[in-house]
Structure 1
Amino acid sequence: MSVASMRRAARESVSGLPSAFWWLWASTLVNRLGAFVATFMTLYLTLDRGYSASFAGLVVALHGLGGVVSSLVAGVMTDRLGRRPTMLAANVSTGLSVALLGFMEHPAAIAAVALLVGMTSNASRPAVSAMMADIVRPEDRVRAFALNYWAINLGFAISSAVAGLVAEYSYLAGFLGEAALTLLCAVLVFLKLPESRPVKDAAAEAAAGPEVRLGTVLRDGRFMGVVGLSFLISLIFTQGSVGLPVAMGAAGFSPGDYGLVVAVNGVLIVALQIPVTRFIEHRDPQKLLVVSALLAGYGFAMTAFAGPLWAYALTVLVWTLAEIVNSPTQMGLVARLSPVHGRGRYQGMYTMSWAVAALVAPLMAGFVIDHLGAAWLWAATGVLGTMAALGYWLLMRGLPASGPGTAVLSGSGSGGAPATAEAEAKPVAAAAVAAGARPVEA
């Protein structure tokens, strides 16, 4: 490919998106650049503070539980108060609670504040995804979600490397650094992002029907099917940070070996997310989700046969391709199924599927590895991937091309453009922390 064609492809990948999207994208990148607590909590508690692995697992589990609780609450806030106020409240409270966590000494205080951090740090996700669906045209949403996911992974990759160096100097500096960057994210939201929540006029309110409540979401069978499939998929992907390090440690590999292998995931996402998304953007989402589920399940299942380090890296390559395809495609599907005036609640329910998986996956990995062996864990991922693929195939049969609502609403999306209401929206949840996973021994 020539330099000119590469430049043209890059321009096409980022063109046509509103300015508000890019400020939202920038806030996501800044937020993820400060991801210290989720990455280093276990090491901080065990190495720096001298607590047991069991206590560290409890604290990380409480952090995950906070995310489960806040997903639904934040979804309701996003619909009732608006996207911008929810993001501001979430980022400011996250910054303050993360800084507070760095000064906690008593075990009970550490556990309680970790729960609070989990709640606040997860609370912005439904609002971010709802705003993205508000301000981006339906035909551009897969690309927009992919770019946002790319920012998440780019920020996480940079923060992991920098935070590792910071942790060698001072863990407290890491906590304060995350707090500062999260508060900077709040400043960006306050200064640059207008509220995007669609405003109902009389005609739109009549067309929308009854108010969307959490019960409405739970009764939406097709959407709850997507939530269930998202849970299965996230159970698989979370094994990259939970089951894989434990299995590699048991096989005699060092933490450095695991770091090299799992780095393949971040590097590939940063390098391939945008070009792959350009390739899949207008292809059949049913086929993409089925194929990505199979790649995820059997990519992890291949780990059972990995011997040398390069073989582990090859398995990571396979399931990373699945992640690159699945993430924006599934978020686009969730957006299609979300009614305009219920995007926050729908986003919150979808976010919760990832948060619950972050709690269940470590327990699943620990139990299976301890009682049956790692090979059974990898076999289970193959089964889960097959189940998810079948589920996507069944769920999307006869799915209409448009979402549950089509109307132009009052209220601005980006840069004064009217916010469209073709009912499509939903979040992205990030990577799970190794809650309760045993540390990998050299």
Structure 2
Amino acid sequence: MKIHLWDHNLKVRLLGEGLFNLLFWMYFPFITVYFSETLGQSMAGLLMTVPPIFSLIGSLLGGALTDRLGRRPVMLIGASFQTLMFVLFALSSSAWIDYIAFIGIGLGKAIYSPASNAMVADLVPEQNRRQVFATFTTANNIGAVLGPALGAVFFFHYRQALLWTCAVILFLYFVAIYFIVQETLPPSSQRLKDRSLITRVFKEQWKGYGLIFRDKVFLVYILAGIFALIPIMQLDLYLPVYVTSHVPTQALFTWHDVSFVLSSKEIYGWLVGFNGLLFVLFILPVTHWFQHWKERNVFILSALLSGLGTFFVGLNNNIWFLFLVTIVFTFGEMVRSPVSQSFISNYAPEHARGQYMGVDSMQYTIGKFLAPLTVFLSTWVPPMGIFSLILIMAVISIALYMCLFKLYVKQPGV
């Protein structure tokens, strides 16, 4: 499905989210390092387990409101809240206020995401969803190419200017949503919206979530996703701590008497940038290569590559070896991304699509809650112990995905 054939709602979102993510990747990869330096490594590891709790609340709330208020209003709420939190972050002179603002940014993004994904499912036929989700992933990762390399300088030396720029871009995106984006709520959900009182919404939505949580297939899918995402999330959690602490300053290349030397922080920035470059170059081809693969095999391959790739990071601190293993765990993340989004889009019933999208994000929020424990444990456990634990999480995920698709064959729908 070519971009010029897309609905204008999707085109606006593709541009807006792409611009914001260009700036997002200039600060997000370094947030764990920042809090480790200002508040201590152990404290940072504990503190990074808290934002996912608020993100979980935001996802459930956003999913509930998405099926009642509509996609567009919830996206406006999420974008405006993130804008305010970036302003607070930019004005702050305290690491604790920075932390509160960081939590708020995650909360706003969590409210926004179910409505955003539901809008794609509303507008795109089932057979084209993998490709469309892959295109959004490409746009979101274009910023990941240059962002981390630039962020290694701008975040630590020009943080306020960077945060103000994020706030302005998000505000402009809010304006674009308000004036250009149109509602896509399906008729089945629209009827529920018309006859429901606001005071009854949360009670009814709670009952709806109760039904979802009794869906055994869906719960196994969420649990498998949690264990699969723990290795993937280490790129922004344990890997920056490990690289800045255990990878020495070294030359990227030497030409005669000239050497291009990178510090440990710069090496990490280059690795994250390389991760983003791989996404930009290969997410669409990879989606095409695996379009005929069964979802079961794609999920298992993803968990295997991300687990092994992250484990291999601890085997050698040479920069070129680190680039090599980055390819391995990046492809693990890459093959998973569009398939996971299309799986839930196809599995969720139309009238409860927002709720399922909200609960689907639980695997990310719970994963983000558990993944920072590697930073906390790194105070006492040596690096190979941490990397072995990460690999074990991937193996558990593979076993759960095998179980999932045995159940899913017997129960192909909700």
Tell me whether the two structures share a fold, i.e. TM-score over 0.5: yes
Q: CA distance change for structure 1 residues 58 and 374 in 2, over 3 Å: closer, same or farther?
A: closer
Alignment of 1:176-255 (within 5 A): 176-200=164-188, 213-253=208-248, 254-255=264-265
Q: Which residue of 2 aligns with 1:8?
A: none
Q: Alignment partner for residue 71 of structure 1, among 59, 63, 86?
A: 59
Distance in 2, matches of 1:265 and 1:70, equals 28
- 1:38 and 2:28 correspond: yes
2:279 aligned partner, one-letter code: I
Shift of 1:131: 0.8
Are the equivalent residues in 2 in contact too, given 1:198–1:341 (CA < 8 A)? yes
Gaps of 5+ in 1: 1-11, 406-442
Q: Which residue of 1 aligns with 2:255?
A: none
Distance in 2, matches of 1:182 and 1:63, equals 20
Gaps of 5+ in 2: 194-203, 249-263
Q: Which residue of 1 aligns with 2:359?
A: 349
Alignment deviations for residues 346-391 of structure 1 (CA, whole Å, 9 cap, x no partner): 1111212212222221213431x33332212222232222222222
Q: CA distance change for structure 1 residues 37 and 118 in 2, over 3 Å: closer, same or farther?
A: farther
Distance in 1, matches of 2:103 and 2:74, equals 19
**3-state SS of the aligned residue for 2:185?**
coil
- 1:274 and 2:284 correspond: yes
Distance in 2, matches of 1:14 and 1:144, equals 9
Q: Which residue of 2 aligns with 1:23?
A: 12
Q: Alignment partner for residue 337 of structure 2, among 319, 323, 327?
A: 327
CA RMSD, aligned part only?
Answer: 3.0
Q: CA distance change for structure 1 residues 185 and 215 in 2, over 3 Å: closer, same or farther?
A: same
Q: Which residue of 1 aligns with 2:257?
A: none
Alignment of 1:142-153 (within 5 A): 142-153=130-141
Are the equivalent residues in 2 in contact too, given 1:13–1:143 (CA < 8 A)? no
Are the equivalent residues in 1 in contact too, given 2:63–2:115 (CA < 8 A)? yes
Distance in 2, matches of 1:398 and 1:42, equals 38
Alignment deviations for residues 379-436 of structure 1 (CA, whole Å, 9 cap, x no partner): 223222222222222212363699748xxxxxxxxxxxxxxxxxxxxxxxxxxxxxxx
Q: Which residue of 2 aligns with 1:95?
A: 83
2:266 aligned partner, one-letter code: G
**3-state SS of the aligned residue for 2:184?**
coil
- 1:399 and 2:394 correspond: no
2:239 aligned partner, one-letter code: L
Are the equivalent residues in 1 in contact too, given 2:71–2:183 (CA < 8 A)? yes
Q: CA distance change for structure 1 residues 99 and 215 in 2, over 3 Å: closer, same or farther?
A: same
Q: CA distance change for structure 1 residues 39 and 182 in 2, over 3 Å: closer, same or farther?
A: farther
- Equivalences, count: 387
Q: Which residue of 2 aligns with 1:377?
A: 386
1:377 aligned partner, one-letter code: I
Distance in 2, matches of 1:203 and 1:118, equals 31
Are the equivalent residues in 1 in contact too, given 2:304–2:394 (CA < 8 A)? yes
Alignment deviations for residues 83-139 of structure 1 (CA, whole Å, 9 cap, x no partner): 100001110121122112221335654444433233113221111111111111000
Distance in 2, matches of 1:382 and 1:57, equals 19
Distance in 2, matches of 1:182 and 1:99, equals 11
Are the equivalent residues in 2 in contact too, given 1:41–1:60 (CA < 8 A)? no
**3-state SS of the aligned residue for 1:125?**
helix
Distance in 2, matches of 1:46 and 1:366, equals 10
Q: CA distance change for structure 1 residues 76 and 374 in 2, over 3 Å: closer, same or farther?
A: same
- 1:104 and 2:92 correspond: yes
Alignment deviations for residues 241-290 of structure 1 (CA, whole Å, 9 cap, x no partner): 22223333443422222223333211111110111111112322111111
Q: CA distance change for structure 1 residues 81 and 299 in 2, over 3 Å: closer, same or farther?
A: same
Shift of 1:160: 3.6
Distance in 2, matches of 1:391 and 1:264, equals 30
Are the equivalent residues in 1 in contact too, given 2:149–2:273 (CA < 8 A)? no
Q: Which segment drifts farther, 67-76 or 78-87?
A: 67-76
Distance in 1, matches of 2:406 and 2:33, equals 46
**3-state SS of the aligned residue for 2:408?**
coil
Shift of 1:164: 4.7
Distance in 2, matches of 1:317 and 1:111, equals 32
Q: Which has the higher helix share?
A: 2
Distance in 2, matches of 1:404 and 1:24, equals 30
Are the equivalent residues in 1 in contact too, given 2:118–2:353 (CA < 8 A)? yes
Q: Which segment drifts farther, 135-144 or 235-244?
A: 235-244
